[in-house]
């Protein structure tokens, strides 16, 4: 659905194509006003099953948002979910419906460069719906960057890094397959930190699986564990010291998101690995509560949690003020969504735990003309204006849900 003040053709064609050397219009606010918004659901198969504690993913779903300005420039954003409304309350179907009915109309006619005001409009139009808002804000940033010939990172203060240590997630549940997969990544110099998804099996089975991985990869790779809220506090008290004995460097969200006090109690115990907060931190207020409870050593930053690029920086600022480390989290984004994250991460002074934006590699196909570059155990910030990547219209049509 194309939201605009007046009916328009189905194609997202510009009102007028700007000449390459055309100067910005004198009335920049009018020239940068949002003319049209389109949201498209896409489903991209994955190369293998990706198992979490609460679901298993064999195709990754996104909502791709295209925002056209009156100057003819188009910006693109992406919202990702995992297996429907299981990781959070948003689904791609709900994201598209909310954008079409409530959020897109709130942006029509609004100057794209007034990003804080745009966020206020979106918040007034719908509560929460952070993933939907993140995709729209990303598209606004992309459009403004393309108009001005600047990367999004420049609009956020400028990049302090152009490459990021990047991990790979082992999530098939089969230790033989996972060891072979990790060996291949090490040999190709793509990844040397691996996050193991646990929680779908009984704790003892997961610990046995982790012991095999630690024995096979010990001394050559760093291991991180993600329980995706699967344990209660009693189970975590029993299992966390055993993870420390296996050399696990970081444990993500072992308890349900509501139990921030429990995370604080776990972290205060001896022999517990560093704890990473994820599902319990969506807003800066959540981050403040986690800091107050001394419940985490690091926080996982995701645009879909924090409502966009500006919200991500706000959460990061609270974490940094509390001495809590920053970790670049993901929801298996394509190169489009991953690039949006990298543009933000590039502007953070400290990103001690690196990032996990391996998503483009787990897809059977990507949504952009030139995917992100992975080399020497890092993912590299794309160059060029806006997000630095370009949506491929043929691939968008190919993966679009009919």
Residue 22 has pLDDT above 90, yes or no: no
Residue 17 has pLDDT above 90, yes or no: no
The CA distances from residue 23 to 56, 67, 178, in Å, are 50, 21, 54
Range list of β-strands (E), 152-302: 163-165, 168-170, 193-197, 222-226, 250-252, 275-277, 298-301
Domain boundaries, the chain: 2-149, 155-391
Residue 60 has pLDDT above 80, yes or no: yes
> pLDDT tens across 219-269, in order?
999 999 999 999 999 999 999 999 999 999 999 999 999 999 999 999 999
Can you tell me the distance from the alpha carbon of 138 to that of 54, in angstroms, rounded to the nearest whole number?
Answer: 28
The CATH architecture annotation of domain 155-391 reads: Alpha-Beta Barrel (3.20)
SS3 297: coil
Q: In what order do the strands lie in the sheet with 163-165?
A: 163-165, 378-380, 373-375
What is the mean pLDDT of the segment spanning 97-107? 98
The one catalytic residue in 74, 333, 356, 378 is 356
Q: For a pLDDT cut of 70, what percent of the chain falls above it? A: 91
The one catalytic residue in 197, 252, 302, 305 is 197
Q: What is the CATH number of domain 2-149?
A: 3.30.390.10
Residue 86 has pLDDT above 80, yes or no: no
- Whether residue 183 lies in the annotated active site: no
> pLDDT tens across 336-350, in order?
999 999 999 999 999
pLDDT of residue 54: 55
> pLDDT tens across 174-213, in order?
999 999 999 999 999 999 999 999 998 999 999 999 999 9
Q: DSSP label at 102?
A: I
Residue 214 has pLDDT above 90, yes or no: yes
pLDDT of residue 334: 97
The β-bridge partners of 222 are 193
Name the phi and psi angles at 88, rounded to 5: -140, -175
pLDDT of residue 368: 97
Residue 380 has pLDDT above 80, yes or no: yes
Residue 298 has pLDDT above 80, yes or no: yes
pLDDT of residue 161: 97
What is the mean pLDDT of the segment spanning 348-357? 96
What is the mean pLDDT of the segment spanning 275-285? 98
Least confident segment among 8-17, 126-135, 325-334, 390-399: 8-17
Can you tell me the distance from the alpha carbon of 130 to that of 126, in angstroms, rounded to the nearest whole number?
Answer: 10
Residue 1 has pLDDT above 80, yes or no: no
- Whether residue 178 lies in the annotated active site: no
> pLDDT tens across 160-177, in order?
999 999 999 998 889 999
């Amino acid at each position: 659905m194309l939201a605009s003040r007046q009916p328009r053709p189905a194609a997202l064609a510009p009102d007028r194509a700007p000449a390459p050397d055309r100067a910005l219009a004198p009335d920049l606010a009018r020239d940068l006003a949002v003319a049209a918004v389109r949201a498209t659901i896409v489903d991209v198969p994955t190369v293998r099953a990706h198992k979490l504690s609460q679901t298993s993913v064999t195709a990754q779903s996104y909502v791709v948002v295209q925002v056209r300005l009156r100057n003819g420039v188009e910006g693109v954003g992406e919202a990702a979910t995992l297996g429907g409304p299981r990781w959070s309350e948003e689904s791609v179907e709900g994201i598209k419906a909310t954008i079409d009915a409530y959020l897109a109309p709130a942006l029509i006619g609004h100057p794209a460069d007034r990003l804080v005001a745009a966020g206020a409009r979106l918040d007034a139009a719908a509560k929460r719906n952070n993933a939907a808002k993140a995709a729209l804000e990303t598209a606004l940033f992309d459009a403004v960057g393309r108009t001005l010939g600047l990367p999004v990172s420049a609009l956020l203060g400028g990049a302090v890094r152009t490459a990021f240590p990047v991990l790979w997630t082992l999530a098939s549940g089969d230790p033989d397959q996972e060891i072979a997969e990790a060996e291949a990544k090490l040999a190709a110099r793509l990844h040397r930190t691996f996050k193991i998804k646990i929680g779908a099996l009984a704790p003892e089975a997961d610990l046995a699986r982790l012991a095999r991985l630690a024995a096979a990869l010990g001394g050559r790779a760093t291991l991180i564990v993600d329980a995706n809220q699967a344990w209660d506090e009693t189970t975590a008290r029993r299992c966390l010291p055993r993870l420390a004995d296996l050399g696990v460097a970081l444990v993500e969200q072992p308890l349900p998101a509501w139990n921030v006090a429990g995370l604080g109690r776990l972290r205060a115990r001896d022999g517990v690995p560093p704890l990473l907060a994820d599902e319990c931190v969506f807003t800066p207020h959540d981050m403040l509560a986690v800091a107050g409870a001394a419940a985490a050593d690091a926080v996982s930053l995701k645009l879909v949690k924090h409502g966009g690029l500006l919200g991500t920086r706000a959460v990061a600022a609270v974490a940094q003020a509390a001495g809590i480390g920053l970790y670049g989290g993901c929801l298996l984004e394509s190169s489009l969504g991953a690039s949006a994250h990298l543009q933000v991460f590039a502007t953070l002074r400290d990103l001690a735990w690196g990032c996990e934006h391996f998503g483009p590699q787990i897809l059977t196909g990507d949504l952009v003309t030139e995917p992100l570059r992975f080399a020497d155990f890092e993912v590299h910030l794309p160059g060029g204006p806006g997000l630095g990547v370009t949506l491929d219209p043929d691939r968008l049509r190919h993966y679009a849900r009919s």
